[in-house]
Amino acid sequence: MLDLKKILNEEQYVAATAPDGAILVLAAAGTGKTRTLVYRMAWLVEDKGVTPDRVLLLTFTNKAAREMLERANEVIGTGIAGIWGGTFHHMANRILRRYGRHLGYPPDFPIIDRDDARTIVGQSLKELKLNSKDFLKKDVLLSLFGTGVNSKDSLEDIVYERYNDSAIEPSDVLSVHKMYEKKKRELNAMDFDDLLVNCLRLFKEQPRVLEQYQEKFLHILVDEYQDTNPIQAELIDCLAARNGNIFVVGDDFQCIYSWRGADFRNIMSFPERYPNASIHKLETNYRSVPEVLAVANACIAGNPEQFQKELKATREAYKKPRVAMIRDGYDQARYVVRLINELIYDGCKASEIAVLYRAHFHSMELQLELSRAKMPHVITSGLRFFEQKHVKDVCSVVKLVASPSDELSFRRLLELLPRVGERTAIKVWQKLGSRFDVMNSEQREIVRSSISAVARPLWDAIEPVLTDYVGERTGRDAGEIIARFLAMFYKDYAVKNYDNAERRIDDIKELMIHAGRCETIEAFLSDMALLTNTDTAEKEDDFDSDASIRLSTVHQAKGLEWSVVIILWASEGMFPSPRSVDESIEGEAEERRLFYVAVTRAKDDLIICAPEMRRMRDGGVMFHDPSRFVTEIPQGLLQRAYN
């Protein structure tokens, strides 16, 4: 038996042990949100005797899910194994692999990432002859499509409203979308949004499938509820409709994904959808010193529409956060390095220091300076590990043998060969009849004869990798097939094509290790598409992570905490990001919430840097005022640093 009364404070205890039904926990930053969720799980399994596989835990990132399950494990031992935990996309994927056939998808449907999606949009543009300079770019189109799915408004409304009086013809946008959808359908492929859309459609069209999951999940727990968008909220509502045991945790102050359709008002309308919901507030902050909280409170007060609440401090007074007015990015980098050296000299652990920024490129000068100073640092990079070219290249082999009709993988593989480009690859695929059966010697011959003579010996090296696999001579192990492909072909390819081939080959070896840990090929392939690099990086780097400082975007720092937080580029034109301020009326409020998230990551010490000048690429200079988020804070709450 757990003695939760001793472990949790009063407000946490009441929330964690609330009786069955709908439960809303409004938890401000640093008030023990994760703790409450973890003990809720533990309490359900341990005290209430709920079987773990009847609990569904939905979190925003895979990392959060893993962390929570690990912590729950520590609390009650291995009893927690079997809980379904992960992201919405993860859950949808798992369900669709099993029942997607009701919607006409095979169980091995490919998941397309951003890069694949770009390729498909590019083709659609070409076919519709809209690939001119003055039409929308691929990324803009894709984000429009995404908004159409994830927000309440339909794509049509959005497009007509946005391009009402511009040179862009709204119907052109819609026809690209139509073509994009059609092409995905032909590939039997789903993009990230399709996973959610199709899962919901499955629930609506196949009541018996839905019933099965409603029955299975006796308890549903959702983390970061303020960042769920309408589709995700509806998925949860469907699943909870039968048992009604739904426990959601969130903070409207920390809603930073409204550009993906999240609306902080959703969390407040929860009681309307669940009239019997019990509501709990966690307001006692254990994380930060009062000086940091004062700044946080002052900062969020700039959002008049937010549901005001004050963070209550429990810790002793320490010292005021600092603001450093700095000349430019280079001075900022040198200042930060000096500051970190001082902190470490004073006994602060490197792993307790984080540098946060609005956009990845804001940290460029600092990255250089840290390398120069030989100071170990970990960057949660912008590129997802599985989205890098070399990783995708290697994975295409695995995907192709697992799913012979995966056109994108086949083409990617073939286009690695010299004198084979997009055109040739498409032609070969058509000749094959949209399916490449590696064990069929006629098909292999078609490929062989369709490619240029210089490519043939290389293809001959790749072929046995494929046939051995299907012939079960490699034991159907994804790691093994990658190893062979690397040895037979990709090593040479990488050396010839990349100046940093070694690093890329290391990545691939890392991938092999990961593949070996996956139980099935299918699990490996789903992981590839749905895991983010931070999810994987954590595992590999832990041997020296104690000695490394962390560099991260504010978005990726969500839910984490450090003793010292340094914010870069708190300057107008950088943070808030001008684009999001221009884009919508809500833009500024969201940026302010983002700044609030950054501030509340700090436990003891907060340093805000505001450089005044930036050199542009063309040699020009841009001047920046300090960010409005800094000037809004009453001066008495801050102290000047640097000069």
Partner DNA sequence: GTTTCGGTTCTTTTT
Partner DNA sequence: GAACCGAAAC
CB of residue 312 to DNA, shortest distance in Å: 29
Q: How far, in whole angstroms, is CA 519 from its chain's centroid?
A: 23
User: How far apart, in whole angstroms, are the C-alpha atoms of residue 190 and residue 132?
Assistant: 27
User: How far apart, in whole angstroms, are the C-alpha atoms of residue 490 and residue 30?
Assistant: 47
226 binds DNA (CB under 7 A): no
CB nearer DNA, residue 389 or residue 473: 389
Query: Residue for token digits 């999606």?
Result: 117
Question: Which helix (H) or strand (E) covers residue 37, if one does?
Answer: helix 33-46
489 binds DNA (CB under 7 A): no
User: How far apart, in whole angstroms, are the C-alpha atoms of residue 286 and residue 583?
Assistant: 36
* CB-facing half-sphere around the CA of 5: CA atoms within 13 A: 1
Whole-number Cα distances in Å, 310 to 74, 236, 249, 292, 299: 32, 30, 18, 13, 11
User: How far apart, in whole angstroms, are the C-alpha atoms of residue 386 and residue 262?
Assistant: 25
By CB under 7 A, what part of segment 25-64 binds DNA? 60-61
396 binds DNA (CB under 7 A): no
CB of residue 454 to DNA, shortest distance in Å: 8
User: x/- site string to DNA, residues 305 to 344, per CB under 7 A?
Assistant: ----------------------------------------
CB 287 within 8 A of CB 352: no
Other CB atoms within 10 Å distance of the CB of residue 448:
15
User: How far apart, in whole angstroms, are the C-alpha atoms of residue 555 and residue 237?
Assistant: 26
Q: Which stretch binds DNA (CB under 7 A): 40-48, 77-85, 333-341, 573-581?
A: 573-581
Total of residues contacting DNA (CB under 7 A):
51
Whole-number Cα distances in Å, 160 to 87, 122, 156: 32, 22, 6
Applying CB under 7 A, among 530, 549, 608, 610 the residue interacting with DNA is 530
115 binds DNA (CB under 7 A): yes
Applying CB under 7 A, among 71, 94, 102, 260 the residue interacting with DNA is 260
405 binds DNA (CB under 7 A): no
CB of residue 564 to DNA, shortest distance in Å: 21
Q: Which stretch binds DNA (CB under 7 A): 100-108, 288-296, 530-538, 605-613?
A: 530-538
Q: Please provide the DSSP assignment of 432-461 as one string.
A: TTS---TT-HHHHHHHHHHS-TTTHHHHHH
Which residues have C-beta within 8 Å of that of residue 573, sequence separation ≥ 6?
622, 624
CB 637 within 8 A of CB 295: yes
Applying CB under 7 A, among 5, 48, 98, 137 the residue interacting with DNA is 137
573 binds DNA (CB under 7 A): no
Q: Which stretch binds DNA (CB under 7 A): 204-212, 412-420, 478-486, 505-513?
A: 412-420
411 binds DNA (CB under 7 A): no
549-553 and 377-379 beta bridge pairing: parallel
Q: Which stretch binds DNA (CB under 7 A): 274-282, 417-425, 511-519, 625-633?
A: 417-425
Applying CB under 7 A, among 97, 102, 118, 349 the residue interacting with DNA is 118
CB nearer DNA, residue 118 or residue 281: 118
539 binds DNA (CB under 7 A): no
Give the residues lining the site for DNA (CB under 7 A).
Answer: 60-61, 87-90, 114-115, 118, 122, 131, 133, 137-138, 143, 192-193, 256-257, 259-260, 358-361, 380, 382-384, 388-389, 418-425, 500, 530, 532, 534, 553, 555-556, 577, 579-580, 583, 617
